[in-house]
Structure 1
Amino acid sequence: MEQKNFDPDGVGVDNGTYFGLPFAPETAELVLISAPWDVTVSYGAGAAYAPDAIIEASTQLDFHDPLAPGVWRRGIATADVDYSLLESSQRLRADAARVIDHLEGGGCLEDDYVVRKVRRVNEGCMSMNANVGAQASRWLDAGKTVGLVGGDHSTPYGLIRALGARHAAFGILHVDAHCDLRDAYEGFEFSHASIMFNVLRDVPQVTKIAQVAVRDFSESEAALAASSGRIATFDDLSLAAALFRGETWDAQCRRIVDALPQEVYVSFDIDALTFENCPHTGTPVSGGLTFNQAVWLLDTLTRSGRRIIGFDVVEVCPAPDERIDAITGARMLWKLCGQTLKSNES
């Protein structure tokens, strides 16, 4: 469908793109890449199927966004999904699951039973990172802004590294139930629980990570967050306590944004939200942000004059008999697209 024939007020178009939009990546300002991958998830699997489920759910979305009206017309395009990633994920997930079962049964990583499996998983994850990095680099070099739809939270690593190669300094607004600061969790160097540890280690251009709504983390993660000058923690309990004492959510959002530099990458794990928004996400945690609280935070970031240089939406786990996870994922993706384009207005 050509753009001139596209009716934004008409029936959603099932054309295989996010939101059924008619834009080609070569002409759009924002390009969405997909990473159907969830090899290292440690509890509930399924995030590898999120891109297709979000594409399907996104055609039911209406386009008017009062916080970013009309910005979608500048172009939001869908890059071709590389389904070889899904095939590799399905194959390697069996190895990862055996490792996790072995560890939960009292085994250790040095046991012969798991050594080769861990190595295969780590090599596969490195290949996935290279794939995502190459996809991101292609569109970044073409002058596009890139967003990623996961997949689990390990998948944005290649995009963040690609941005690190092109920006002298930027921050990450990390909205999540978890800190993701574990060193090679369960033996997997590129675990979904290790993404921010790996970013701190490998992307020195990231000068600050503001972690918002985190509420389930280990002592070692808490110690790292407290000791690192590159991490600002706005944990869920502290945010709730401030609300109980009378600080408005708007004021808290401004405090969070003030911790970040001028250029910002947004990493949005859907489990940052309350249960009703994402009942099937891989590692759900009580508490969290409402959908509107999260949207207000993103809008506060944009209204501050900061520029969103990229983003991800991860850990959406679609269920075969319920659509709420994909519906939430599609709408959060839409809000992130709008705020990103709005922040890049010339």
Structure 2
Amino acid sequence: MTSKEQKIQNFDPNGVGDSSGNLFGLPFTVEESEVVIIPMPWEVTVSYSAGTAQGPQAIKDASPQLDLFEPGIKDAWKLGVAMEDVSMEWAATSEALRDKAEAYINWLEAGSPEVGRGEFEHLPAEVTAKGEELLAWLNQKSLAYLEQGKLVGVLGGDHSTPLGLMHALAEKHEEFGILQVDAHADLRDAYEGFEFSHASIMFNALKLPQVKKLVQVGIRDICQAEAELAEQSNGRVTIFYDATLKENLYAGDSWKKECKKIIAQLPQKVYISFDIDGLDPKLCPATGTPVPGGLEFEQAVYLIKQLVKSGREIIGFDLCEVAPGESEWNGNVGARLLMKLVNWMAVSQQRLEAQF
């Protein structure tokens, strides 16, 4: 009997959540797990409110509160999921650079006066260099797990963080699509001078030729250049604006019908990029750039389930922009969404058995 089998035999899924365990109070190590979550405590380029660098730990801390039964999925907890320890080195680097970046952003917002130009003109290059290091680090780490046959998810941190996982998946798959749930399009070219800005993640993802399609859902805060990029993409980028989705629902369409439209735009292999601000901000009040509107929690989960029901394969995911706030609410919602992403990715890969 393997160590994992012994743990499954001895673990009580109906017991009190063990805060000393791994994610969701489960007993599994990274080595024993089929799904590995890589935490990314990084928020250097956040342009409104900070805090998301503490998101991974906040989600882990809240996760033992969750019950483990997943309706429709047999013995989901036995899959084996674990999160790596949060890198204190990257957290410290993020904090140090964030202080500089915040001063730089304030300088930009003041009209880039001559006073301070010497101090700030080289900062974007410094931040970009560290962003390249972070990308390479995550790419290498993700590839190592993928080579072991594990499934990988990234837990941000700001939305710039998962690019390294996307690069790793591009090395493993000839083509795939991205399903992005977000309030923002994140299609800006080096926003505020930062090549690896949280507002530029999808602009950067589109540089990967393996990304054949980007489908954005819940968008409700977007600049003209981003909208034009999508319109001029020859169908490579499709935006489902939050307002349009809501208008269709108000006119009598079902959410199932809207989900079918969304999923029809995606290829067989799909990466899910989930910014928590894609949800209604009552579910994520501490997130860095909240916007009124958005999806309800169960709407988002239904979309993911319908994606899997369609026969498509989820090859990886990220969950970003969760910030702790004054209570555990943000981490609690983030943990619940993380569990859904893990379980339904596993179902899509036939690692778990589900009934629809």
TM-score (norm 1): 0.96
Relative distance call for 1:325 and 1:128 in structure 2 (3 A) is same
Q: Which residue identity is paired with 1:45?
A: A
Structure 2 distance, partners of 1:38, 1:163, is 23
Residue 297 of structure 2 corresponds to which residue in structure 1?
291
Give 1:30 deviation, angstroms: 1.0
Structure 1 distance, partners of 2:21, 2:225, is 43
Q: Which residue identity is paired with 2:216?
A: Q
Q: Which residue identity is paired with 2:202?
A: M
Give 1:224 deviation, angstroms: 0.4
Q: Which residue identity is paired with 2:268?
A: Q
**Aligned residues between the structures:** 344
Give 1:39 deviation, angstroms: 0.6
Residue 86 of structure 1 corresponds to which residue in structure 2?
91
SS in 2 for 1:59: helix
Q: 2:310 aligns with which of 270, 291, 304?
A: 304
SS in 1 for 2:31: coil
Residue 122 of structure 1 corresponds to which residue in structure 2?
128
Give 1:108 deviation, angstroms: 7.1
Structure 2 distance, partners of 1:3, 1:150, is 29
Instruction: Work out the percentage of aligned pairs sharing the same amino acid.
Output: 48
Residue 171 of structure 2 corresponds to which residue in structure 1?
165
Instruction: Specify every segment of 5 or more residues in structure 1 that has no aligned partner in the other structure, as ranges.
Output: none
Q: Is the 8 A contact 1:16 1:55 kept in 2?
A: no
Structure 1 distance, partners of 2:70, 2:139, is 31
Give 1:116 deviation, angstroms: 2.0
Q: Is the 8 A contact 2:69 2:76 kept in 1?
A: no
Q: 1:240 aligns with which of 242, 246, 261?
A: 246
Q: 1:97 aligns with which of 91, 96, 102?
A: 102
- Choose 216-225 or 61-70, whichever is displaced more: 61-70
- Are 1:281 and 2:287 counterparts? yes
Residue 62 of structure 2 corresponds to which residue in structure 1?
57
Residue 194 of structure 1 corresponds to which residue in structure 2?
200
Give 1:15 deviation, angstroms: 2.4
Give 1:137 deviation, angstroms: 1.2
- Are 1:152 and 2:130 counterparts? no
Relative distance call for 1:328 and 1:49 in structure 2 (3 A) is same
Q: 2:118 aligns with which of 112, 120, 136?
A: 112
Q: 1:206 aligns with which of 202, 206, 211?
A: 211
Q: 1:32 aligns with which of 18, 34, 37?
A: 37
Q: Alpha-carbon deviations, 1:240-260, whole Å to 9, x = none?
A: 111111110011001101100
Give 1:16 deviation, angstroms: 5.0
Structure 2 distance, partners of 1:341, 1:196, is 25
Q: Which residue identity is paired with 1:182?
A: R
SS in 2 for 1:164: helix
Instruction: Specify every segment of 5 or more residues in structure 2 that has no aligned partner in the other structure, as ranges.
Output: 1-5, 352-356
SS in 2 for 1:338: helix
Relative distance call for 1:119 and 1:76 in structure 2 (3 A) is same
